[in-house]
Structure 1
Amino acid sequence: MTNISDVSTRARTARRPVNKSTVSTPGVDTLNNNEQHTQVGPVVNKDAELNNGFSSKAMDFVQRRQAVIRFVQDAIAASVDRQKLNADNNGRGNSNEFKVGSLVLLATQNLAKHGVSDFGGSKLAPRFIGPFTVLAKHGNAYTLDIPSSMRLHPTFYVGRLQQYAQHV
């Protein structure tokens, strides 16, 4: 079993360390300060050339900002690791398996209205339609025997299907 702190530590150490080369961009500074004027010629900002270094307040601000960003990235990485661990332990949702030839119901949520029925308002529409026969299995998806009049693609994720139970 993977420990959350081990995964988070790996995520933190994979990031690039912050150094002065990642903060300073002298090539960009000269591009921004040397402009071409149409009538006068090149315009050079003399103040920018005299003050190439960052002030200590600016460097402190940048370092604090980068520390906050690293903290937030570490918190997000730890959260993602916890979510993955929980999903691995508890399962990832609907794990139903259907045999080819069995009858299933199809959830109508997020289906086009022309494919569901002519009930008009969605309040009165059924939550599941069917039953439909399973024709094939493709990983977590199943191909159903759907009438062509529904104008729907016949393959659906297993989470959209429910076992059909005949009422006696």
Structure 2
Amino acid sequence: MERDVKRFVDACPTCAQNKPSNQPPAGLLQPLLVPKRPWSHIALDFVTGLPTSHGLSPFQCCLGYQPPVFPAQEEDVGVPSAQAFIRRCRRTWKRTRSTLLRVQARVKVQADRHRSKAPHYVQGQRVWLSTRDLPLKVVSPKLNPRFIGPYPISKVLGGSSEAPLPPPLRRIHPTFHVSRIKPFVCRPICLAPKPPPPVWSICNLLSNV
């Protein structure tokens, strides 16, 4: 009995569109690859003012030494030869990369505690699309369904999926993270909801009397 009720609720379109989920967001954290040397990869991050977690400034990570602040410190950063400069840079890059890998692994473990593994999606599979952050024109946001669709997946891109949207949402980029979609379940045990009855005006009712 419990299994049948769960199967019915999972396939119920009304429940799928309006029932909130008590599960963590889908999609585990996928960190970027840590480069082996400076300027081999360029990324943009809008988060600023973060302290360095490895004790090295960006200048030292690139050149292998801290910039001299006083004239007396210039002798400490003097480069006797190009080979010595390269060895110092490589030692700094290796230290920086190992520290970034440790921090990255620690952050992933902490982030995945509040996430769940995403279902496996394939091209052509139908999914429900979350209405969160969608500019839907509704009378009241409280009456807005939590999910709309279902829409077929046209392409799977790593942790994201592309789905063709209806004309009112054509201005939105059709790529969505796995946390913004959920599988569409269709089973014979759950019948499709019937369309609502037509709305009759007073004139139509009087004309049919």
TM-score under structure 2 normalisation?
0.38
Looking at CA atoms only, which structure, 1 or 2, has the larger radius of gyration? 1
Higher strand proportion (structure 1 or 2): 1
Higher helix proportion (structure 1 or 2): 1
Higher relative contact order structure (alpha carbons within 8 Å, sequence separation ≥ 6): 2
